[in-house]
Structure 1
C-alpha cells in the first residue's frame, strides 16, 4: 500500500464527511425513480419494504451479537445500533436498484455497496476510536523491529542523571519477540516504546510500564488507538527526556482468544507475563528492578489483568492502572469460564477474582489508579467497586471518570494517559 494511502486518517471530520456524503448521494440517486423499468408504484413498495427489512436485520444483528450473546463484552452504543441499521438498509436499497432498472442505475447500485459498507464501518470505528489510519486497518502500521541505542544501564540514578548532548527529542517505537521460555505461551510480537533517555550511550535505570490491550485486540492497540507513545513523549519532554519504558506484550495469543491472564489449559499467561516478560525486560532494557519503578496498566480485558496481576504480584508491581476492567476474569459465561480456565473448579475461579485477592492481603505501598467512561453504564459500577476494594486493602487509590465516553478507545486513551501522568512523582523523574 502506498505511504500516502496507508497514512490516510479515517477518523477526521473531513474524511468522514466525504465518505458519508458519497454514501448519501448514491442512496439518494437510487431512491429517485429515474431509470426504473415498469410501473413506479410496485417499485416504490418494493423499495420501502426492502429498506425496512434491511434496517430491521441490521438492528437485529447488533442486538443479537452485542446485547444477547455479548460477543464483544461491552454495551454497544446507540451509534453502533444506528450504524448497523443504516448499513443494512443502504445495502437493501442498492439491491433493489439492481432489479428492473437501466444499466446506469445498476452501475450506481454496484458502486453504492462498497461506499455504504465503508460509511457504516467508519461510523463504528469512529465511535470506538480504534483505527486512526487506513493502513492500520490492514496491519500496515509502518512500525518495524525495535532499533535501540544504549540498552545497558549504568548505576546512575534518575535524580543525578543529566541529558547528554545529541539526545533524541522523542522516543522510538518498535516490535520485539519475547519468547515464552518458561511458560511456553505462544505470544505474538510485543510493542515497545523507549524514551529519549534510553537511546543514549549510558542511560540511567528507568521505570517500566507493562501495558495490556483489550480483547479482541493486539499489542499495537495501545499505540495506534491508545496513543500511549504520544502521552509518554509528553512526559519525557517535561522530564529531561526521562519517562518509563513501555512494554506491551501479547497476553492473548490471537485476537479471538482470551486466556484471562491465569495459568490454565488455555495457556500459562500469568507465568508468561510475570516470569518470561519480566526476565526479557530486565535483560534487554535499561530498567530498575525496584517494585516502585514497575507499573502494570491495561484497558478492558487488559485492565482486568492489570488489577489481577498487580494485586497478585505486589512484590513485582508497585503501581496499577486499570481502565474499564471487569470484576473477575471472564471467558463466556461464569460456567464456561470455570470450565475453560479453572479446570472446572468454582473455588479456583473465586480465588482468582481480584476482589478475593484484595480482601486477603494488605497493600500499604501500592498505588492504584482506576478510570472509566462517564457514559459506560456497565463498567462504571465495576470500577467503583474495584476502587473501593483496593482502598480497603490499603492501596493509595485515585479514580477518574472520562466525560462523554463509554467503553471505547476514547476512554482508554484518556484514562491510561491520565494514570501515567499521576505516577511521575512516584517514579522520581527529574525535572527539566
Structure 2
C-alpha cells in the first residue's frame, strides 16, 4: 500500500498545504473556543504556557545547534525558529488538553499530532531532505534497469553533435529516465543497497553516444534515492539535455555506506567493509560494462553532498586515473565520525598514516601536479563548509587543478544549496566534456557567488 503513496510530494503541492491548513484552522478554533468571558482565564494560561514553551524551544534548539553542535553543523536559524514555533503551538494545545473536557480536549489531542507533523514538515521543507512520502521509508520510486533498456555506445559526443547539426540524429525520447540497479560487488564484497541511474535522452536512443559519467553520493544518513529526490537531479539533467540535443551526463548514485545509520568513511575498513574498493573498482567496472559511457577519466566526475561530498574529495584526489573531476557540496575537511583518535583506531587498525592518506588536502598534495578539475559548492549560511571547501580548493589550485568555488546565498547545509550549486557545475563541466557551450557565466546564476582563490 505504501507504494501507492510513495509519489506524494512533501515540499510542494496539496499535501503540505493540507497539513498546514488543518493545523492553522484547528489552532484558530481552539483559541476562538476560549474567547468567552468564562474561558478567558484558561486562554490566558494556555497563551502564557505557549510563550514560555516557545522560549524554551528556541533556547534548546540554539544550544543543540550552535553551542554543543550535536549535529556537527549548525541547524540554521530557520530551523531553530521552526522548532521554537512548534514548541509554542505544542505548549498551547497541551495546556488546552489538560484544562478542558469534551470536544475541546478531543480537538486539542488531534492538534498535538498535527503540530508535530507540521513542524517536521516545515523543517523538511527548509532542508529539502525528504521530497516524497516514499523517500522517508526508502521505498524506491524507480524501476529496475534491464539489459534491453540501453544499447552500447555507437559514437562519441562530438559525432553526435555533428549529426545534430546535419539533422541526422537517431530517434531519442524527449526526457531521460531514472532506474535502479544492483551493482556487483565482486572485488570488494561490500554490502551495498541498490544504486540509482539517470540515463539522459541520448543514452536511450538505439545508437547512443559514449557519454560522460557523474558518480554522485548522498549524505549520511541517506540513500541513493535521496540524492535523486532531494537534489532534483532528474529535472536538472533533463533541462540540460533539452538544450543540448538530448546530451547530458549519465548519473550513477551508488550506495557508499550500506545503511542509513552506517558511515563507511568511503574507506576499506573492518567496520563496514571495503567501501573504497567498491567505489573505485566494482562501480566503475559495472558502469563501463552496462552503460554507454566514455572511459577517459576527464569524462568522469565524482561528487556528493555532506558526507558524500567528503567522500568525493577523498576518492577523486586518491584516484585521479578514474575520476578526473570532483563535485563536492558542503563537504568536510576530511573523514568524520567521532574523534580522530577513534577513527584511526576503529577504521584504520591504529595506523595514523593510513588515515592521513584519506584526508583530501594530503591526497591532493601527494598526487600533484594534477590536471583534474574541482567545482566545489557550499551553502552561504554554512560557514564551516565554506571554510572546508576553500581550504581544499586552495590545495587543489596549488596542485595545478582547474578550480571553481561557489556559494549558494540564502541556503545552509541543505539540499537547496546542492541544487543551486550543481546547476552551474553541470554547465561548467558539460562544456569541458564537449556536451555544449555554457549558456551564461557563473555569476549570472540565481543567488550564486564565486569565491576568489589567491
Structure 1 and Structure 2 fold alike (TM over 0.5): yes
Aligned to 1:159: 158
| Equivalent runs, 1:72-111 vs 2, <5 Å | 72-111=71-110
The corresponding residue for 1:274 is 280
Is 1:420 the counterpart of 2:426? The answer is yes
> Aligned pair in 2 of structure 1 residues 320, 169: CA closer, same or farther (>3 Å)?
same
User: Which moved further from structure 2: 412-421 or 4-13?
Assistant: 4-13
3-state SS in 2 of match to 1:398:
strand
Partner of 2:415: 409
Residue 24 of structure 2 corresponds to 24
Distance 1:167 1:21, change over 3 A: closer
1:121 maps to: 120
1:143 aligns with 2:142: yes
Question: How do 1:366-385 residues align onto structure 2 when only pairs under 5 Å count?
Answer: 366-385=372-391
Structure 1 stretch displaced more, 142-151 or 184-193: 142-151
Q: What CA distance in whole angstroms lies between the structure 2 residues aligned with 1:59 and 1:343? A: 42
1:244-302 Cα offsets, whole Å, 9 max, x none, are 21110000111111111111112211101001111111111111211111111111111
- C-alpha deviation, 1:5, in angstroms: 5.2
C-alpha spacing 1:183/1:165, structure 2 compared with 1 (3 Å): closer
Unaligned 5+ segments in structure 2 are 438-454
How far 1:72 moved relative to its partner? 3.3
Report which stretch shifted further, 142-151 or 104-113.
Answer: 142-151
The match for 1:210 is 215
Distance 1:75 1:333 in 2: 18
- Structure 1 residue 26: deviation in Å? 2.2
1:238 aligns with 2:243: yes
Cα separation, 2, equivalents of 1:9 and 1:148? 31
Answer yes or no: is 1:303 the counterpart of 2:302: no
- Answer yes or no: is the 8 Å Cα contact 1:326–1:382 preserved in 2: yes
1:81-139 Cα distance to aligned partner (Å, 9 max, x none): 12222223322322222224231101211220221112101110111012233443344
TM-score by length of 1: 0.90
Partner SS for 2:10: coil
Do the aligned partners of residues 216 and 168 (structure 1) sit closer, same or farther apart at CA in structure 2, a change above 3 Å counting? same
Equivalent pair of 1:331/1:340 in contact (CA under 8 Å) = no
Offset, 1:348: 2.5
Structure 2 counterpart SS, 1:99: helix
RMSD between superposed Cα atoms in Å? 2.7
| Whole-angstrom CA distance in 2 between matches of 1:252 and 1:65 | 26
Counterpart CA distance in 2 for 1:71 and 1:182 is 37
SS in structure 2 opposite 1:328? coil
Task: Flag the structure with more relative contact order, 1 or 2, with Cα contacts below 8 A and sequence separation at least 6.
Answer: 1
Q: How does 1:2-81 map to 2 (within 5 A)?
A: 6-12=6-12, 16=16, 18-31=18-31, 34=34, 41=41, 43=42, 47-48=46-47, 50-52=49-51, 54-55=53-54, 58-59=57-58, 62-63=61-62, 65-67=64-66, 70-81=69-80
Question: Is contact 1:79-1:123 (8 Å) kept?
Answer: no
